[in-house]
Structures are given as C-alpha cells and as structure tokens.
Amino acid sequence: MGRLPDDTNPAPASVSGQNCASSSDKAQTSAAKLPFPEPPPCFGLGQLTRHNAMQLKQLNLATLPVTYGDTLYEQLQRHSEFSRLGYLGEVMVGAICCRVEAPATTAPGAKKKHRLYIMTLSVLKPYRRYGVASGLLSYVLSRASQPQTGGVELEDCYLHVWTENKYALEFYEKRGFVNEGIQEDYYTDVSPTSAYILRAPLPWIYADAKFASRHADDYDVTQHNLVATAPTPGGK
C-alpha cells in the first residue's frame, strides 16, 4: 500500500494560502467527533479517467514501494466508481483506487455479498499533513456504506499493508480497520514480502453524510473534474 501522511513533513508553501489557512477552525471542530483530521476547504476530488490515468501512474511511482504496470491503470478505469484523485487547490496530490470483488462461492440460498478492496492509497510526500488520505478514504468508504446499484451489497472493505509500514497500520486502525493477521509472501519486489490484512465492516463507522448522496457531486471539468466536498456559501 502507499506511504501515508508523515507527521515530520512541513506544510508546502504552494497550498498555504487563504483557502487552506482557514482550515484550522474546521480541524478543531472535527477533532471532537473524529479520531483523525479532515482535509482543508481547498481539498477537492476528481474522477479517474483515461485522460489522467498516466498522471495517476506517475503519482504512484513517486509514492509507492511497489511498481505497477500499465495494465493496472487500464483496469482501474473500469473501477472508477470507488477511485478518486485528491487535489489541494489546482494541484493533484493524492489518489485512492479500489475495486469491487465478487462474492466467494456460498451455500445454496445464502445471501451473496461483495467486498471492496483498496488497491492503492497514496499522497505526495510534501502534502501529507493536510488530511488528504483521510479525505480520500472517507469519500470511498462513505459511498460504499450506501445502498449500491444493481443489487450489489458490500459486506466489508479490506486491504494489504506491508508489514514494515507501521505508520500505515496505525493510520487504518485509527479509522476502524482491524488487523486480521499476516499473509506471507504477498509482495514479490520488496523485503520482507509479508503483508498485514486489514478489514473494516460496512457500513463504515465514520461514514460522512456529505458524501452519502450520489447526486451531490458537482463536477467542474475546467478544474480537473473537481468534486465539491461541501457547498460554498453564496456560490453559483
């Protein structure tokens, strides 16, 4: 999995303007109800498309210890419902990519439930103090907590985390994921090759109401297909 926000990184000057600076009050307000930070007002979400798939590849090359081929990015475009790019202002700084997995074989008459798998979650190093990873994860899990189309019912969300990435383990556990053990020889190009298996039941305990409605997205194709995470007072 991707390396996640690092507390030792200073705030980059490129996002320290008025919009982001005003996030301190919001962070103080949310701290009482959430055990993790919310992103600043200048945080936005963009859809993954064939036009920016290679931009996502460059992001992952810069942030992940594992290298993925072009085939993955072609497949990701078919799982775009639970994949989003994260922006601070005009700058793409992170992304989350997930897929819906079909249910395993079940007994006759048993209810079949799908699973959501987090393939990658990454944030550029200079931007890891802004709650970007939290915002991306919150969007996906809040959407996954809602009734799905086509009769799909999501039972849980899970992922693999490299056993050397203790910060990522803490990141997910703080957000309701449970460590269900270690899978040996999961990775082939890093050492050690083992990975933790983390799982969170759905609906997610921290599901955010502002992401609940599928009709709430407000895309602006002139600004990277940004998705408004909250209405702007007095906005058009």
Bridge partners, residue 123, by sequence: 94
Give the span between the Cα atoms of 210 and 214, in whole angstroms.
10
- Among 130, 139, 160, 196, the one annotated catalytic: 160
Strand order in the sheet with 178-183: 178-183, 195-201, 154-162, 114-123, 91-101, 83-88, 43-47, 226-227, 219-220
Output the CA angle 222-226-232, nearest 5 degrees.
100
Query: Tokens for 113?
Result: 């439930």
Residue 160 annotated to the active site:
yes
Q: Are 48 and 80 in contact (CB under 8 A)?
A: yes
- Among 68, 117, 167, 186, the one annotated catalytic: 117
CB-based contacts of 135: which residues, under 8 Å, 6+ apart? 38, 39, 43, 45, 86, 229
Give the span between the Cα atoms of 116 and 108, in whole angstroms.
23
Question: DSSP label at 97?
Answer: E
Query: Which residues are annotated as catalytic?
Result: 117, 160
